[in-house]
Amino acid sequence: MIKNSSLQTTLNNSINFSGISLHKGIVSNLKIKPAEEDTGIIFKRIDKNYNNIIRANYNFVSDTMMCTKLSNEYNLSISTVEHLMAAFIGFGIDNALVEVDCSELPILDGSSSNYIQAFKKMGLKYLKGQRKVIQVLKKISINENDRYISIEPYDNLKINIEIQHDCELINSQSYSFELLDETFENYLMNARTYGFKEDASMLIKKGLALGASESNALIFDGNSVINYGGLRYHNEPVRHKVLDCLGDIFMAGYRINGMVNGYKSGHELNNKLMHALFSNNENWCFKKYQKPKIQNHDNTEEKIAAIA
């Protein structure tokens, strides 16, 4: 699988997925279809007959509470899109039509693994159009209380995230990820969304996490993991935060060349960063895609709090 191509890509054929949605707890069915060059990623609510197209773009992000939610101008929405968006950019898919029969994508196992495994079986189709990349030209920063995120010029996409939790099993974790051939599959795709058992009743009262279970989320109970089999990575929570960030960054509509540094950041700051980046044309430009040089990318111990 060579995703780092100068040509745009899509899937060879359609793929179906079905499962429980994380927050609404309903059965969600989706079909990912190939799309023509310059289409980008588009969602289509097939349970609605009219005004049912929702483009995957940072301008259409309408909510960032516990997930990324997209809405069109007719107030039709699709939620929890970040894991699929991460799988698209992680596998190198530029164009796709995603048909879904309800307002939230299935959570599957809580990671991007199911998507990637299906993409590998189906394979990529290379299109005639040249792949364009957004090059970051200036450093952009967002600071909110003790949270921080920034993006600065870099010749590929690199994401450095640090998280902090009171849970002793997590405490302070940091992870540095660079998007290269197969790095998403090798280092990131299995990282599951995570939560804390003590927060369950509060989330349910808010109408969230109604479909959450040990089969689709990493659940901490005090200072232990209740999932059978435990952690998939020793630092699975921070890797999932990087996965989420990758999906949210792809809301730019194109791949981005830039280095992201985040401290206790999440969907809200990820989206605010995209708005800040594109608020001024001097912050970025389009360039032709060039395959990045292979570097050491699996730095699990790098601390970035000092950068924050």
Please pick, among 165, 267, 275, 297, the residue that the annotation labels catalytic: 267
Residue 182 CB neighbours (<10 A):
15
Contact 279, 142 (CB under 8 A): no
To which residue do tokens 């949270």 refer?
147
Beta-sheet strand order (sheet of 96-100): 15-20, 27-33, 96-100, 41-45, 53-55
Active site residue 234: no
Q: Active-site residues: which are they?
A: 267
